[in-house]
Structure 1
């Protein structure tokens, strides 16, 4: 019988699969797929098995959505909802665990190497054994944490990305008010996601008398190139939202081990991040500024930490 475990990191737009020998975290045969190519989640997994020519006997997959109820799946892809026991039986898997995607990234945090992250700001170092939190804008906004329970780490899944976010200061408050007229209660995900960047850009463009709509990818490309002043300002407001929300997450989880940022949106826009401004907004949480000054902030640059986290889960079976 094979001793391989299927690993899966399932987002709203793309899925990543790999195989790992049970008990280890160094996975192999990584493949990426566009979700829209497959009618169901099972179809995507079967395509992966066919591509690598192997069938594991167990699996751990992380999904971008809540893991509760009879049916689970990515929040933004309803056609991929599945029943875990039935899918395991259909795939011939003896064990099949399904976890939240940011629970998986949280599980990966102790396994990341120095070259897998970059530091934001000048905080010297994390508290040894301190709680860690991670959040990441992408198709949605994921939030998770890893907390210490005696001698072991416990991952805490979360739907914190749907928590409400406050208005920025100054003229940017007008953009926030415009966004609120469109969505009602403004959650973190409404502004800290690909569609969130589009909302910010549209609001700032309206205020500037140049209303326009572009995709998040187009806005990001224009901002990095520097040729679109509204795109550049949208990026600055995006990072202000992200810094303030990250500070809130740091407080929620008492994350003295660090707050980590992850996701394609942040990675693409990171050259435009003003690290000093980010830290100032992150720490501006009176009366707990001193507490937040001790929390490091880091950007995860490893491309697939969710797969590392899934492998970490399987290694503890």
Structure 2
């Protein structure tokens, strides 16, 4: 279909396996333009974007922003499992846009906060309502783990990059310490991401098997299926242990950033756990901060149930970027 020239923005969410591309009119992602591409079918991002532009009637976007599952430094993105060059020159060449930007995918999620429809937010814990400049916190739980603060300043929104998934796993008791040793044996360092991710759930299941003297392995997908069916007590125990660590880590991050504007948990694994977080003790673990337990009630916690939030964040970021020029 034909689109007006130099009016719409092109936004993309680049994961390890697939890339989703869409057009946005201001801050609104046009859902009927969302297309998905398998990364293994293309030599690089430029090929994906050129194909998308052709499929959308040779659309001429005024701005382009991409969200990347990996660190972004000096306008260049590096992806762990994808040998693509993703930099501003690539975006300019592929899209001929006047403004281009590259965000880490978690940063994009941070820019989406405040632009997500209310029915796509599942409240886990109530909290106080902060003022318009209150800090927010976005936590990503999916293939990996990461978190970043969201600051709304007089000069605009700032979502600084972070690699929060690679800090030490918190230890609360003797079993936690044994878990750290279990992970350390395989990976050399017990990080938060080694537990709070899709593959982390499988490690918790394996650890519980070792603890019981009955080692078995099970995929994260099968564990969650068993949690729903209630047909495997160990799956439920692994999910409860996962939930306790998620609550503890989210609480630690909340005390670090003081997000009176709310904590927002995003990602595929977060969405899978959303129906069980309250039942499995997320709130107790989140508030388990000694004399600061009551203070933790200031922070509302929600799970974002919007698969296109990173695209929305890219669109919102471009609106802010263009208005500042």
Counterpart for residue 67 of structure 2: 62
> Quick check: 2:71–2:104 contact (8 Å CA) kept in 1?
yes
Three-state SS of the structure 2 residue aligned to 1:62 is strand
User: For residues 195-221 of structure 1, what are the alpha-carbon distances to aligned partners after superposition, in whole Å with 9 as ceiling and x for unaligned?
Assistant: 211211221122223323333222222
User: For residues 15-63 of structure 1, what are the alpha-carbon distances to aligned partners after superposition, in whole Å with 9 as ceiling and x for unaligned?
Assistant: 2211012x33343411233333333222332333343334333210111
> Quick check: 2:196–2:245 contact (8 Å CA) kept in 1?
yes
State the distance in 1 between where 2:210 and 2:191 align: 21
State the distance in 2 between where 1:54 and 1:186 align: 48
Q: Comparing 33-42 with 11-20, which one deviates more in the overlay?
A: 33-42
Residues 26-175 of structure 1: pairs in structure 2 closer than 5 A: 26-28=29-31, 29-57=33-61, 58-69=63-74, 71-74=76-79, 76-121=80-125, 123-129=126-132, 130-150=134-154, 152-169=156-173, 171-175=175-179
State the distance in 2 between where 1:79 and 1:61 align: 16
Counterpart for residue 238 of structure 1: 242
Aligned-residue offset at 1:71: 4.2
| Structure 2 unpaired stretches of 5+ | none
> Quick check: 2:138–2:264 contact (8 Å CA) kept in 1?
yes
**RMSD of equivalent CA atoms:** 2.2
User: For residues 221-257 of structure 1, what are the alpha-carbon distances to aligned partners after superposition, in whole Å with 9 as ceiling and x for unaligned?
Assistant: 2322222222221111111111111111112211111
Counterpart for residue 301 of structure 1: 305
State the distance in 1 between where 2:74 and 2:160 align: 18
Counterpart for residue 277 of structure 1: 281
Task: Flag the 1:41–1:201 CA change in 2: closer, same or farther, 3 A.
Answer: farther
Aligned-residue offset at 1:170: 5.5
Three-state SS of the structure 2 residue aligned to 1:16 is strand
> Quick check: 1:224–1:269 contact (8 Å CA) kept in 2?
no
For the pair 1:193 / 2:228, whether they are aligned, the reply is no
| Structure 1 unpaired stretches of 5+ | none
> Quick check: 1:175–1:207 contact (8 Å CA) kept in 2?
no
TM-score w.r.t. the length of structure 2 is 0.88
Task: Flag the 1:145–1:274 CA change in 2: closer, same or farther, 3 A.
Answer: same
> Quick check: 1:7–1:60 contact (8 Å CA) kept in 2?
yes
TM-score w.r.t. the length of structure 1 is 0.90
State the distance in 1 between where 2:127 and 2:234 align: 35
> Quick check: 2:149–2:159 contact (8 Å CA) kept in 1?
yes
Aligned-residue offset at 1:99: 0.8
State the distance in 2 between where 1:20 and 1:140 align: 27
> Quick check: 2:75–2:102 contact (8 Å CA) kept in 1?
no
Task: Flag the 1:312–1:93 CA change in 2: closer, same or farther, 3 A.
Answer: same
